[in-house]
Every structure is written in structure tokens, then in C-alpha cells.
């Protein structure tokens, strides 16, 4: 869907999830965070994070990786009780602080909502969600013909045009 000026009418995404607060650690307000990003080292380079649904901003005073989790010290969170408030809250970074991706890689928010057409021009619908299967992502596409699961593989995905809002695919037999 486009607005009158031709730009996409999809809502702008301002934040990306990079983790989830598991629990306070210690008595000085340190947060133990489950890592939900492919680049855990980003915790060591991030100057600010946003917590919870209200995206409250905090400056990162210290960060380290420990036993598969991130441990964060944030300005303004000084006690165990301060940290406890954020248990199970998501940890976000601003999109402009996101790790740059390689050519042909996309964040899920960039893919969700795009129209999907076959190489022959058939409109399959729009990507409604992205499933992470371990081997490769799978795009759930919903349209008039129902739902199609499309593997995000180089052999299948011909082109992703973010500006036009269209993905072109070459579906193997059995996926229609």
C-alpha cells in the first residue's frame, strides 16, 4: 500500500529487540539479559538501550558477556529493586544504531508487510511474519489463495526491492 506521495504507508519501526531481561544480578542494579540477536558483541558497543514497551532510554555504563547472557549496568538503575522492575522486559536499540547488514540480508521488520510476486507476476500476497527455523528463515505469505510458506533462500528469492515494497520469488514445485 502506498501513500499519495508514493512512499510506503507501513508504520516506521524505530526499535529492534536485542534481548530480554531475565533477572537482576547482584545488589547494585546489574541486569542479566537473554541475548536475542545474532551479534551478541553489540552489547559491548551499544551506548544506549531502551527498556520495556514504553522504550525508556538508558545509558549503558558497563556491559559484558557471561555464560551466554549479557550483563548490563545502566545509568539510573542502581539497586536490585530498580533492576527487578525490568524483569521480563525487552531490551531494544534504536534502528539507527542497528548493526549494518551484509548485502542481501534484511531485518524482519523490513520484510514484513512486503508484497510477494512470482517471477511470472502472480501476486501471492504479503509477508505477515518471519519464522526462524534454525536452518533458514521462512516467510509466511498470506493472500487470496491462502497462506504460503516461502523459504528465504537464494534459490527461491530472486529480488527484494525495499523501495518498491516487493519481493520476487521463484517457487519450487510443491510450494504453490
pLDDT at 176: 66
What are the start and end residues of each CATH 2.40.30.60 domain in the chain? 15-97
Is pTM beyond 0.95 here?
Answer: no
Which CATH superfamily hosts domain 108-169?
Answer: PRC-barrel domain (2.30.30.240)
Element (H, E) at 111: helix 108-111
pLDDT at 175: 72
What are the start and end residues of each CATH 2.30.30.240 domain in the chain? 108-169
CATH topology of domain 15-97: Elongation Factor Tu (Ef-tu); domain 3 (2.40.30)
Q: How much is the average pLDDT of 66-92?
A: 98
CA 64 to each of CA 24, 45, 69, 72, 141: distance values in angstroms, whole numbers, following the listed order: 14, 10, 9, 7, 39
pLDDT at 3: 33
Amino acid at each position: 500500500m502506498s501513500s499519495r506521495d508514493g512512499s510506503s504507508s507501513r508504520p516506521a519501526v524505530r526499535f529492534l529487540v536485542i534481548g530480554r531481561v531475565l533477572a537482576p544480578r547482584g545488589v547494585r542494579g546489574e541486569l542479566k539479559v537473554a541475548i536475542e540477536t545474532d551479534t551478541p558483541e553489540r552489547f559491548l558497543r551499544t551506548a544506549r538501550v531502551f527498556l520495556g514497551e514504553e522504550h525508556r532510554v538508558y545509558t549503558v555504563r558497563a556491559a559484558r558477556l557471561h555464560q551466554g547472557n549479557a550483563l548490563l549496568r545502566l545509568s539510573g538503575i542502581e539497586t536490585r529493586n530498580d533492576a527487578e522492575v525490568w524483569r521480563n522486559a525487552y531490551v531494544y536499540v534504536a534502528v539507527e544504531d542497528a548493526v549494518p547488514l551484509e548485502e542481501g540480508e534484511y531485518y524482519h521488520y523490513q520484510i514484513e508487510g512486503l508484497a510477494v510476486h512470482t517471477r511470472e507476476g502472480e501476486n501471492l500476497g504479503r509477508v505477515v511474519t518471519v519464522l526462524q527455523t534454525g536452518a533458514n528463515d521462512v516467510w509466511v505469505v498470506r493472500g487470496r489463495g491462502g497462506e504460503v510458506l516461502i523459504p528465504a533462500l537464494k534459490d527461491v528469492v530472486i529480488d527484494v526491492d525495499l523501495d518498491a515494497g516487493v519481493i520476487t520469488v521463484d517457487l519450487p514445485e510443491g510450494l504453490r
